Structure 1
Amino acid sequence: MLDVTWQSPTCFTLADRSGALLAGLEPAEAPGRLATEAFIRTRFALEHGAHIAHFLPLLLSLRDAAGALQAAAGIRLALDQPLFLERYLPRPVEHHLATALGQPIDRTEVVEVGNLATLGAGQARLLIIVTTWLLARSGLRWVTFTGATRLINSFHRLGLAPQVLGAADPACLGAERESWGSYYANAPQVCAGDIRQGYHQLLQAGIFARLGLPTLGEEDCHVA
């Protein structure tokens, strides 16, 4: 599973731009965590007029060589607690996954990605790549998230095809809906994806190699 004690950024070089990006997985008390939260809060405010007050237990941040944040996302294990996106679903997420995929789903293999904020579409795709690599390394199998058309298109451009589980209806949030500004005007959907399948798709496309991310053995990332 995810090593939640890991706080040191991992550095990798992008082939299509100079310098490097630093990827950091930040638990609640990690150095840089407050700056990452502020980045997420600011991006949601600018894009949607939303006020984000709660963050997922782990934050994944991408910083340029100068330390400026380019993208961030939150991670929550379904094993630990209910997922935020389950507020939109009438049953636990693993039941919806099982229905959609036609196979039993173990909740311990499910993870939620949220709090996703980037400076642009290119950074969003990069964040998807790094998140897929990280989650494959952790041994998780199913990723779930809430996203509108722009985010889902970022997956499609990478050759990935998330499964829609249902609409993210703001009525499910009650009064809390008011803090989300115009976010729900984009008709977000609750989606899920097969981490192993996504990992293999990106691996075969040579994307991990181009970014300098090491190819992981089956014993490390459980992607057999």
Structure 2
Amino acid sequence: MTIKIDALYENNISPLLFWTNHNNTNNPHRSTQTNQHSLKTNQELGIQTPFARGLQLNLLSPVDEQRKSAETFINAGYAKHFGAHLAEFSPIILTVKDFFNNRILGAVGLRYADGQSLFSENYLSEPIESLLSEKTNQKIKRKQVIELSHFVVDKNTDVNVVFPMIGQFLKTLDVDWAVYTLSRPIKSAFQRLGIQLTHLQHAYADAIKVSKTNWGHYYDFKPAVYFSSILENMNA
């Protein structure tokens, strides 16, 4: 059974947890069935409990009790780097947390393209599936696309742990393409991790017609919309 993230809470399924060893961040435990995008349980993946490793990845819906702390964490990152204050967030936020020290290492928002508009589409001249189809020379459907947004890490070095964990989680989902609007610093961080980014469109402030967010000097960092193949790029 394929389960989307927003269905986890509707079906009373606990959030999926991943973790890794602090001393082996380049080789986190991961499923060997990365080509299958259906959501799997820890037992099916043959992974220990998160308490044994100390890092866990949590899925937070808008009503989750940990959601506010995740939004505060993201806002603190945007305030520090861009002087911005976000008033709107993705439907689901993933956090990577140091369980033993109660510290959030990183967070990212997720939004399925199927059935709703992506924030990144504000900057695009065509629907995301049309542009991806043109770029890849294959028929792409909206249900194959997921958007990652407001990516923040606590420390620069945390990106080396956070993104591989998020990447292996994305491979358990029934999606094939990741879309992002990335500022230049985040783009550089992704590229250092070996993520191949295909440029779609520059992101300009005047494309956002209605927003409660104060973007500060975010647009001074030349953000642009990119996409990646999840299967080929999200490798731990």
CA-to-partner distance for each residue in 1:164-214, whole Å, 9 max, x for gaps? 111011110136497100101010110100001114xx2xxxxx4xxxxxx
Structure 1 segments of 4 or more deviating over 4 A? none
Q: Is the 8 A contact 1:170 1:177 kept in 2?
A: no
In the alignment, structure 1 segments of 5+ residues that lack a partner are: 203-207, 209-224
- 1:132/1:31 CA distance change after superposition, 3 Å: same
Alignment deviations for residues 99-141 of structure 1 (CA, whole Å, 9 cap, x no partner): 2222211110100010211123322343321222111111210
- For the Cα contact (< 8 Å) 1:7–1:30, is it kept in 2? no
1:149 to 163, 169, 184: 184
Gap regions ≥5 residues in structure 2? 9-13, 26-52
Alpha-carbon distance in structure 1 between the residues aligned to 2:147 and 2:56: 22
Q: State how many pairs are aligned.
A: 200
* C-alpha distance in structure 1 between counterparts of 2:15 and 2:213, whole Å: 34
Q: Does 1:196 align with 2:231?
A: yes
Rounded to whole Å, the distance in 2 between the matches of 1:157 and 1:73 is: 18
Q: Secondary structure in 1 aligned to 2:214?
A: helix
Higher relative contact order at CA 8 Å, sep ≥6: structure 1 or structure 2? 2
TM-score, normalised by the number of residues in structure 2 = 0.78
CA distance in 1, matches of 2:101, 2:91: 26
- Counterpart in the other structure of 1:212: none
Aligned-residue identity in percent? 25
Alignment pair present for 1:139 and 2:174: yes
Out of 109, 113, 119, the position equivalent to 1:74 is 109
- Offset from partner CA, 1:30-82 (integer Å, 9 cap, x none): 23111101111111112111110111011100111211112101000001310
Q: Equivalents in 2 of 1:53, 1:177: separation in Å?
A: 6
Inter-partner Cα distance in structure 2 for 1:130 and 1:54: 24
